[in-house]
Amino acid sequence: MKSLLYLLLPFCLLYPLLNFAETFPNNSESSELACPEEENKGLRREIEEIMYEDQRYRLQMDSVMSNFGWESPEMQELIGRMHRTDSICISRMEVIIEKHGWPGISLVGKEANTGVWLVVQHADIATQEKYLPMLEESVKKGESQGRHLALLVDRTRLRNGLQQIYGSQIIRMKGEEAKMQPLFDPMACNDRRKSVGLESTVEENALRLEAKYDPAEDVATRIQYVDELLDKEGLRLYYRKLGKGDPLLVLHGRNGLNHQSMMDCFDQLGDSYQVIYLDLRASGKTTVPEEDLSWELLLEDLEDLRKELGIRSWSIAAHDVGGSLALKYASKFPEQVTKLFLSAPEIGRTLGAKIGRGNPTEVSHFSSEQSEKIKRLMATEQYGKGDLDTHEEIIRIRYSLDFVDPANVENLRIGLRDPALDRAQAWKEFSYKFGSLNLYREILECPVPLMIVYGSEDPRDVGKNSRVDKVFAKVQKEQIVGAGFFPFVEQEQAFLELIRNFLAQ
């Protein structure tokens, strides 16, 4: 078993520690305790019985771990019992919640109300997210404790790869001291804790839990990023922000890429701009939607994100198909775009010209050795099961052809996420739609300042096509010497100089 211990001990395994630390009020708050009506006592007793089962094995963990160790058979057996019991408890609790809503303090009393939260806190992420809005509404009505909401919010955010809000969760690695999990805006954390009834400061909480926490270090190493999810029907869009200033949306390419491919270069603009990375549908940390990818849905995602962030207009920097999307967006929403900076955008196949990459599976100039290696990898069981390392190796082989020095492909961040096969299939099917792509009119009639850059060694060098030259005579076009399809990777400083100067104009 991996020796990664998320703080299931103080926060979700050991109920007494919660009572002592930050989840339960002291006696001075006893006025909040509400006695349920006589007819509700049966419901209260049922919830308290479920809570007892929820805590039964957790109360034994401290002793078993001290006597036998975390990785001992005794501890693993206890954890197995606990997980099986958790499944039963949440099933029973779901029946109650579906019938009564979130049982509030006035209905079942404070202890049973706490029991409802404890069971949900120990459930899977889907169950937690299902009932989180109900707990939030209960807190607003004064029927549940704000501190319960805080801990559930932190737990769900961390499980989604986001920063926690209230500083309630720590992590402990084997052989290392415990430390605070990534925290959003740590300098304002204590105000947030106070607003939900958490009496200790985040520093006091870390000290109590014997966890390392340095707010100054946290600001320097973590707060530069703010990770969020935008929930849409059947889709969760992941985006990441850093820096302050005029907003700059950054869009990545396709075929296994996501926002990570752009970070090393564009992070450096965070000193002057609010950089906003978005993982497009079926990419990175954004989920795979049930419906097929389409330009209309991708455009809708951009506009929904702009509205979510309250941005009046933004500049867009984009690569490959992200550039195609940016052109379409500026054409449809000209008032929402300030400038476009496009790196090797896909602009059209009907005229046989494009800046940048098509589907790498279509490239015919693989060496026989490379082709055979790809075939062998795709025939493996690991590939069929969606093994991320296998899929990433294939992507690197394909993209190696797009670098002046193929070894530089190792400097390209990929960061695949499960399910790799579903993501690849979604983009493969979408790529078929590029057969009729023609964005020359969008370029000629672009309503905002536009710059297009490409590498001098890009295999699809736009300068070799006279039709494209005629189009680009009307826009700013820059060639970056010594770069292929990924100029922001191979010639980072030259790329940054171009985009800084263009945005500052």
* Tens-level pLDDT at each residue, the chain (505 residues): 333 333 333 333 333 333 223 433 333 333 334 454 555 889 999 999 999 999 999 999 889 988 998 788 998 899 889 999 999 999 999 999 999 999 999 999 999 999 999 999 999 888 999 999 999 999 999 999 999 999 999 998 888 766 788 999 988 765 677 888 877 767 778 999 999 999 999 999 999 888 888 766 655 444 467 888 899 888 999 999 988 778 999 999 987 899 999 998 998 888 778 899 999 999 999 999 888 899 999 999 999 999 999 999 999 999 999 999 999 999 999 999 999 999 999 877 533 333 333 333 344 456 778 888 888 989 998 888 888 888 888 888 888 888 999 888 988 988 888 888 888 888 888 887 665 678 888 888 899 999 999 999 887 654 444 455 666 666 788 999 999 999 999 999 999 999 999 998 7
Q: Establish if 255 belongs to a structural domain.
A: yes
Token output for 421? 């096969």
Q: Establish if 344 belongs to a structural domain.
A: yes
ω into 419 cis (within 30 of 0)? yes
Q: Establish if 378 belongs to a structural domain.
A: no
Strands (E), 149-272: 170-173, 178-180, 211-212, 226-232, 235-242, 246-251
137 with 212, same domain: the answer is yes
Residue that finishes a domain, picked among 221, 236, 261 = 221
For residue 239, the SS3 value is: strand
For residue 78, the SS3 value is: helix
CA triplet 333, 290, 155: central angle to 5 degrees?
90
Q: Establish if 393 belongs to a structural domain.
A: no
pLDDT of residue 272: 77
Residue that finishes a domain, picked among 198, 221, 244 = 221
Q: Which domain holds residue 18?
A: 4-221
212 with 303, same domain: the answer is no
Beta partners for 122?
none
Residue whose structure tokens are 């046989």 = 352
pLDDT of residue 354: 38
Q: How far apart are CA 401 and CA 504, in angstroms?
A: 33
237 with 295, same domain: the answer is yes
Please state, in angstroms and as integers, the Cα–Cα distance from residue 68 to each residue in 13, 63, 72, 73, 324, following that order.
17, 8, 6, 8, 59
Neighbours of 422 (CB within 10 A): 12
Strands (E), 332-449: 337-343
Beta partners for 363?
none
239 with 102, same domain: the answer is no
Token output for 18? 């919660």
Question: Measured over all CA atoms, what is the biggest interatomic distance in the chain, rounded to whole angstroms?
Answer: 86
The span from the first CA to the last CA of the chain, in angstroms, equals: 56
Which residues fall within 8 angstroms of residue 125, CB to CB, at 6 or more apart? 156, 159, 160
DSSP letter, residue 196: T
181 with 255, same domain: the answer is no
Q: How far apart are CA 170 and CA 319, in angstroms?
A: 37
Q: How far is CA 429 from the centre of its chain?
A: 24
Q: Establish if 388 belongs to a structural domain.
A: no
Are 434 and 349 in contact by the 8 Å Cβ rule? The answer is yes
CATH of the domain at 482: 3.40.50.1820
Rg (CA), the chain: 27
Are 373 and 397 in contact by the 8 Å Cβ rule? The answer is yes
204 with 301, same domain: the answer is no
Are 132 and 156 in contact by the 8 Å Cβ rule? The answer is yes
Are 247 and 314 in contact by the 8 Å Cβ rule? The answer is yes
**Residue 423 identity:** R
Beta partners for 479?
454
Q: How far apart are CA 427 and CA 316, in angstroms?
A: 22
235 with 211, same domain: the answer is no
Determine phi and psi for 499, rounding to 5 degrees: -70, -35
295 with 433, same domain: the answer is yes
73 with 95, same domain: the answer is yes
pLDDT of residue 361: 37
Domain count, the chain: 2
Q: Establish if 302 belongs to a structural domain.
A: yes
Q: Establish if 498 belongs to a structural domain.
A: yes
209 with 231, same domain: the answer is no
267 with 209, same domain: the answer is no
Are 280 and 322 in contact by the 8 Å Cβ rule? The answer is yes
**Count of CA atoms in the C-beta half-sphere (13 A) of 247:** 18
- Kindly give the pairing relationship between strand 170-173 and strand 178-180: antiparallel
Residue that finishes a domain, picked among 159, 194, 221 = 221
Token output for 177? 């001291």
Q: Establish if 479 belongs to a structural domain.
A: yes
Residue whose structure tokens are 């909040």 = 32
pLDDT of residue 20: 28
190 with 243, same domain: the answer is no
